[in-house]
Amino acid sequence: MANVLIIDDDETMSRMLAQLVRRLEHSAEYALTLEGGIGQVVTGRFDVVFLDVNMPDGNGLEALHRIRKMPDPPEVVIITGAGDPDGAEIAIKNGAWDYLQKPLSPKKIVLPLKRVLQYRDNLRATGQPSVILKRESIVGSSAAVQKCLDQLAHASRSGANVLVTGETGTGKELFARALHNNSPRAGRKLIVVDCAALPENLVESMLFGHEKGAFTGADRPFEGLIRQADGGTLFLDEIGELSPSLQKSFLRVLQEKRFRPIGGNREVHSDFRLVAATNRGLEQMVSAGRFRSDLYYRLKAMAIHLPPLRERPKDITELMMHHTTKICSKFGIRAKGFSPDFIEMLCLYHWPGNVRELVNALEHAVSSAQSEPILFPTHLPDHIRIVIARAAVDQDNPKGSRPQPPPSVTIPEQAVPTALPPYKVFRKTVLAEAEKGYFDRLMTLAQGDIRQACRISGLGRTRLYDLLKKNGIERA
């Protein structure tokens, strides 16, 4: 027997759904407010939640990620009387099982319910233990990153090909390495191939290898990168850069796991697991005839899309702490503290270069500060300070024509992207989240030692106590 919760402000609809679920011999409860329903999810153990979108105290789509990030979360079926394609996309991307439009007939409810319960039964039957991931340097605790890590955990247990997509600087190679190191092939080689850097006249030789004398300059045999990946993982970065002729050749290698080195008279076998990555839109390239559709679908047996940093602002403080510690260690200097306005500037910037740009900015700041113990905005690269200064001037000068904010600046993670909040609300929300994350990491780095925390942060003891209390952080 399964436990089902209906969260819908329409009491007649909620009762009808509850009765239908009970006739199927399952337990059913309902809540008429969003917060009441989330409270029941927290205190109870539900298998399925039917969640309405337009609730009197909030939006169900905004609450979806709160439910899905709970320990052992229930599956969520969105139900709405005002469905739209954008809402359906948001729901699926945030972990919904299905998206149903009202009016709801018994058939519309029964079939998804049976399928989702069968899915959960299958998960329990496999008895797979929870996976403790080796995260490498993947930093972040936001829902967006956690979703990617969940996908990584599933992919690591599989031998299927994986396509990792995302903008430049989002950490595609980190995820490829984590996939390899969490897989059964972790003890074997990970061969990294940057397709954009392969010399056009030597690309086939480097991938497939060659025999001695196969061409001018081939004075010794070369095994080839695909053969070197035998038993391990082959990571093809920027796979969208492969030429059409090489796409055809590589498709056969994927299908047969066999190939012929240049100048060879027999085929060679290589048992590799393929992970590919790209920052290009392969679907659009397929439509334009610039990438083979059959190769694309073979690459995309499993897919992980990495979010840009602007869509995971909660992670900025954690990334800042982690990478600044690494940078200071690399340079052989003492750990740096951070002024509040330094953190504020990092959180307000839109980071078009993503995590890679953030790391470069932190390296610049640490180098500029030299022996100074605290990092201030003046230590950041000028272009970042200019962007924030211009945005502040525009905000404070409502008269006349003002340029729009950079298109990459978004509201905090998981909000429904139908409108931007007022700037002051956005700033207050982001800074509150960043401040709490900062003090969490500060006390972890200082191992609960208040004196050490004061030294790192540059704060006095009384001020630090006040801020820890404000953010609900216990002093060890």
State the DSSP string of 415-449.
Answer: --TT-PPPHHHHHHHHHHHHHHHHHHHHHHHTTT-
User: Which of 133-147, 168-182, 290-304, 378-392 is predicted least confidently?
Assistant: 133-147
Residue 434: the pLDDT is 78
The answer to which of 37-46, 343-352, 379-388 has the lowest mean pLDDT is 37-46
Q: What is the pLDDT of residues 80-121, one digit of tens each?
A: 887 778 888 888 878 888 999 888 888 888 988 998 888 888
Higher pLDDT, 453 or 254: 254
**Quick check: 418 pLDDT over 50?**
no
Determine the number of helices (DSSP H) and then strands (DSSP E) in the chain: 19, 16
Residue 11 near residue 19, CB atoms below 8 Å:
no
Question: Would you say residue 398 has pLDDT above 90?
Answer: no
Residue 369 has pLDDT above 60, yes or no: yes
Tens digit of pLDDT for each residue in 234-288? 999 999 999 888 899 899 999 999 999 999 889 999 999 999 999 999 999 999 9
Q: Mean pLDDT, to the nearest integer, of 319-332?
A: 92
H or E stretch covering 452: helix 450-457
CA-based nearest residue to 179, from 224, 112, 131: 131
* Backbone phi and psi for residue 360, each to the nearest 5 degrees, phi listed first: -65, -40
Closest to 168 in 3D by CA, of 367, 412, 358, 298: 358
Residue entry with tokens 């300070």: 385
Residue 417: band (very low, low, confident or very high) from pLDDT cuts 50, 70, 90: very low
Exposure class string for 296-326: b at 16+ Cβ within 10 A, else e: bebbbebebebbbbbbbbbbbbbbbbbbbee
What are the backbone angles phi and psi of residue 173, rounded to the nearest 5°? -70, -35
Q: What architecture is the 143-307 domain classified under in CATH?
A: 3-Layer(aba) Sandwich (3.40)
Phi/psi at 77 (5° precision): -110, 115
Rounded Cα distance, 241 and 168, in Å: 14
Dihedrals φ, ψ of 158, to 5°? -110, 160
Where are the chain's structural domains?
A: 3-126, 143-307, 311-470
Amino acid at 157: R
Least confident of 26-30, 78-82, 174-178, 422-426: 422-426
State the average pLDDT over residues 433-445: 79
Say whether 311-470 and 143-307 share the same fold: no
Q: Which fold has domain 311-470?
A: Helicase, Ruva Protein; domain 3 (1.10.8)
Does residue 380 register a pLDDT over 90? yes
Residue 75 has pLDDT above 60, yes or no: yes
133: Cβ contacts below 8 Å, ≥ 6 apart: 149, 152, 153, 156, 178, 182
Taking the C-alpha atoms of residue 256 and residue 399, their distance in angstroms, rounded to an integer, is 66
Residue 433: per-residue pLDDT: 75
In tens, the pLDDT along 201-243 reads: 788 889 999 998 888 888 899 999 999 999 999 999 999 999 8
pLDDT band with cut points at 50, 70 and 90 for residue 406: very low
Cβ–Cβ under 8 Å, residues 170 and 354: yes
Residue-averaged pLDDT of the chain: 86
Q: Looking at the domain covering 3-126, what would its CATH class be?
A: alpha beta
pLDDT for 424 equals 66
Q: How many CB atoms lie within 10 A of CB 440?
A: 18
Which DSSP symbol is given to 233?
A: E
State residue 129's pLDDT score. Answer: 46
Q: What would the mean pLDDT of 322-331 be, rounded to a whole number?
A: 92
Question: Quick check: 402 and 383 in contact, CB under 8 A?
Answer: no
Cβ atoms of residues 238 and 173 within 8 Å = no
- The pLDDT of residue 405 is above 60: no
What is the average pLDDT across 448-472? 80
pLDDT reported for residue 298? 93
Checking if the pLDDT of 411 tops 50, the result is no
pLDDT category at 399 given cuts 50, 70, 90 is low
What percentage of residues in the chain have a pLDDT greater than 90? 50
**Which string of DSSP letters, residue by residue, matches 250-291?**
HHHHHHHSEE--BT-SS-EE---EEEEEESS-HHHHHHTTSS
Sheet holding 233-237: strands in order across? 190-194, 233-237, 273-278, 162-165, 302-305
pLDDT in the model for residue 127: 54
More confident residue, 475 or 58: 58
Task: Determine the residue type at 472.
Answer: G
DSSP state of 294: H
The residue ranges of DSSP E strands in 113-198, in sequence order, are 162-165, 190-194
> Residue 131 above 60 pLDDT?
no
- Which pLDDT band, with edges at 50, 70 and 90, does 463 fall under? confident
Supply the DSSP symbol for 121: H
Annotate 5-31 with three-state secondary structure. Answer: EEECCCHHHHHHHHHHHHHCCCEEEEE
pLDDT tens digits, one per residue of 151-201? 998 899 888 999 999 999 999 999 999 999 999 999 999 999 999 888 877
